[in-house]
Amino acid sequence: MTGESQPDPFAGLPDWQLDPPRPVVPTPATLTGQLRGRRVLIGLPGHGWRSDLRADEKVVQGSRTYVPVMTEGEWYRAEAEQTEIFAPLVPVERVWVEEYGVAGISLPSDSLASRLVSLDEPARRTPVPALDAPTLSGRRVVRLKDNGDEERELRAVTELHTNSQGDICARVTTELDWYRWGWSGHAPRTLEVLVHRLWIE
Domains with residue ranges and CATH for the chain: 16-104 (no CATH), 127-201 (2.30.30)
Q: How far apart are the first and last CA of the chain?
A: 39
How far apart CA 38 and CA 53 sit, in angstroms, is: 8
Q: Degrees (nearest 5) of the Cα angle 173, 54, 148? A: 45
Give residue 60's Cα distance to chain centre. 28
H or E, element range at 179: helix 175-184
How far apart CA 121 and CA 62 sit, in angstroms, is: 27
What is the chain's pLDDT, residue by residue, as a tens digit (201 residues)? 444 444 443 344 454 567 899 999 999 999 999 999 999 999 999 999 999 999 999 999 999 999 999 999 999 999 999 999 899 999 999 999 999 998 765 555 567 777 788 888 999 999 999 999 999 999 999 999 988 899 999 999 999 999 999 999 999 999 999 999 999 999 999 999 999 999 999
How far apart CA 95 and CA 55 sit, in angstroms, is: 9
Whole-prediction pTM value? 0.84
65, 171 Cβ separation under 8 angstroms: no
**Cβ neighbours, 10 Å, residue 174:** 17
